[in-house]
């Protein structure tokens, strides 16, 4: 139904518009509407599969009530609930996603599985603020994001004949990021990240982005484009934050915006000069979130050994990827 709108360009616009909308809502009303990526991701999931989008939103409440009933403790560190909720969300949402894939309600893709962490992100904000206020914020920011997104789409596509589906044909028939065992990869990354946070009080670059970095780093071309992106976005973000004193969600949004611009421009340049090469193996949304997460956490924990612990999580993800994805094939041959 929404196939024509389910494109990399629309997804990126949804993320960026949603982030700026969330920050504006937080500034005006003092309520975090689920997190800066939530409005954009809700729209992305809706375009992929409306039933999957609705399911992830319902799971937010389920995961939250399970946590409150059985797992809440007063001795937790500040971000420990997010790790607990992520473990729950990843397990429950993956099982439902597999069921939906078997029923034909969901396409088996990395972008589709992005919804497995969304319930944890939303549920985490429930632990910090009143649920009714968060739900209202999510609803308003998502609707406003959708309005701006589709107004932009209509204006530029119909009046200016701008193509919002330039990149998708580039991915067809090419080698893109795929995981045979995403459940294993993301759980191992989450576990390693939690251990580092538990003992060193550092979140080593997001919660579950290391597997994406691992796949990119084991290929020379994508390793260069990915590392260059991290360096460029980090340098610009740090410079802007230094002179404007941008912090918190605003810094997060700035890193997201710059990451989106970098990935978008890089892919368009490769498309212009050589349409046979994918600079990020086709995983546009995950690459943007990965660069953004590493940049934000590197600045946030700049006084700690954050780079070393990011390195540890990525090495663990690379070893995990090689063992689970490649070793069985080598043994079979």
Q: pLDDT of 213-265, one tens digit each? A: 999 999 898 999 999 999 999 999 999 998 888 888 899 999 999 999 999 99
Query: Could you tell me if 53 and 12 lie in one domain?
Result: yes
With respect to residue 315, please indicate whether it lies within any of the assigned structural domains.
yes
Given a contact cutoff of 8 angstroms between Cβ atoms, the answer to whether 42 and 58 are in contact is: no
Instruction: State how far the Cα of 14 lies from the Cα of 284, in Å rounded to an integer.
Output: 13
Query: Could you tell me if 124 and 187 lie in one domain?
Result: no
Confidence grade of residue 61 (pLDDT, cut at 50, 70, 90): very high
Given a contact cutoff of 8 angstroms between Cβ atoms, the answer to whether 301 and 202 are in contact is: yes
Please identify, among 165, 186, 206, the residue that sits at the C-terminal boundary of a domain. Answer: 165
Given a contact cutoff of 8 angstroms between Cβ atoms, the answer to whether 167 and 7 are in contact is: yes
Query: Could you tell me if 153 and 260 lie in one domain?
Result: no
Please count the structural domains in the chain.
2
Q: How many residues does the chain have?
A: 333
Query: Could you tell me if 71 and 192 lie in one domain?
Result: no
Query: Could you tell me if 141 and 189 lie in one domain?
Result: no
Find the mean pLDDT for residues 267-275.
Answer: 81
Query: Could you tell me if 195 and 273 lie in one domain?
Result: yes
Highest mean predicted confidence (pLDDT) among 6-15, 63-72, 139-148, 269-278: 139-148
Under DSSP, the state recorded for 174 is: S
pLDDT digits (tens, 9 = 90+) for 76-90: 677 788 899 999 999
With respect to residue 252, please indicate whether it lies within any of the assigned structural domains.
yes
With respect to residue 51, please indicate whether it lies within any of the assigned structural domains.
yes
Query: Could you tell me if 276 and 137 lie in one domain?
Result: no
Query: Could you tell me if 186 and 294 lie in one domain?
Result: yes
Query: Could you tell me if 178 and 293 lie in one domain?
Result: yes
Find the mean pLDDT for residues 57-76.
Answer: 85
Query: Could you tell me if 102 and 238 lie in one domain?
Result: no
With respect to residue 329, please indicate whether it lies within any of the assigned structural domains.
no
With respect to residue 330, please indicate whether it lies within any of the assigned structural domains.
no
With respect to residue 333, please indicate whether it lies within any of the assigned structural domains.
no
Q: Say which residues have a Cβ less than 8 Å from residue 178's Cβ, sequence separation at least 6.
A: 110
What is the tally of helices (H) and strands (E) in the chain? Answer: 14, 0
With respect to residue 331, please indicate whether it lies within any of the assigned structural domains.
no
pLDDT digits (tens, 9 = 90+) for 277-317: 788 887 678 899 999 999 999 998 888 889 999 999 999 99
Please identify, among 165, 188, 215, the residue that sits at the C-terminal boundary of a domain. Answer: 165
Please identify, among 145, 165, 185, the residue that sits at the C-terminal boundary of a domain. Answer: 165
DSSP string, 109-158: STTGGGGGTHHHHHHHHHHHS-HHHHHHHHHHHHHHHHHHHHHHHHIIII
Query: Could you tell me if 158 and 18 lie in one domain?
Result: yes
Tokens of residue 40, six digits: 């954009």
Confidence grade of residue 161 (pLDDT, cut at 50, 70, 90): confident
With respect to residue 332, please indicate whether it lies within any of the assigned structural domains.
no
Query: Could you tell me if 124 and 203 lie in one domain?
Result: no
Tokens of residue 298, six digits: 């590197």
Q: Which domain holds residue 140?
A: 1-165
Residue with tokens 């360009």: 9
């Amino acid at each position: 139904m929404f196939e024509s709108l389910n494109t990399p360009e629309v997804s990126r616009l949804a993320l960026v518009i949603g982030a700026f909308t969330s920050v504006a809502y937080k500034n005006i009303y003092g309520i975090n509407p689920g997190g800066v990526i939530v409005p954009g991701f809700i729209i992305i999931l809706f375009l992929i599969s409306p039933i999957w989008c609705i399911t992830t939103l319902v799971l937010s409440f389920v995961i939250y009530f399970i946590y409150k009933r059985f797992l809440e403790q007063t001795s937790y560190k500040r971000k420990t609930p997010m790790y607990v909720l992520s473990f729950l969300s990843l397990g429950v949402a993956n099982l439902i996603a597999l069921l939906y894939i078997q029923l034909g309600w969901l396409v088996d893709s990395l972008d589709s599985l992005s919804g497995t962490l969304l319930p944890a992100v939303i549920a985490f904000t429930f632990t910090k603020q009143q649920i009714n206020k968060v739900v209202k914020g999510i609803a308003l920011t998502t609707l406003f994001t959708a309005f701006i997104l589709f107004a932009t789409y209509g204006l530029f596509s119909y009046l200016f004949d701008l193509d919002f589906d330039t990149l998708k044909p580039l991915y067809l028939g090419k080698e893109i990021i795929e995981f045979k065992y995403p459940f294993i990869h993301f759980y191992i990354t989450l576990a390693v990240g939690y251990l580092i946070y538990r003992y060193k009080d550092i979140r080593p670059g997001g919660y579950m982005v290391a597997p994406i970095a691992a796949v990119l780093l084991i290929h020379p071309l994508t390793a260069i484009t990915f590392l260059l992106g991290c360096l460029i976005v980090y340098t610009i973000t740090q410079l802007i934050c230094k002179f404007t004193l941008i912090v918190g969600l605003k810094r997060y949004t700035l890193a997201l915006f710059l990451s989106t611009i970098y990935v978008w421009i890089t892919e368009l340049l490769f498309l212009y000069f050589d349409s046979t090469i994918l600079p990020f193996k086709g995983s546009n949304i995950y690459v943007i979130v990965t660069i953004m997460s590493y940049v934000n956490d590197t600045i946030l924990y700049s006084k700690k050994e954050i780079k070393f612990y990011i390195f540890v999580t990525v090495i663990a993800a690379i070893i995990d990827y090689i063992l689970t994805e490649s070793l069985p094939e080598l043994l079979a041959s």
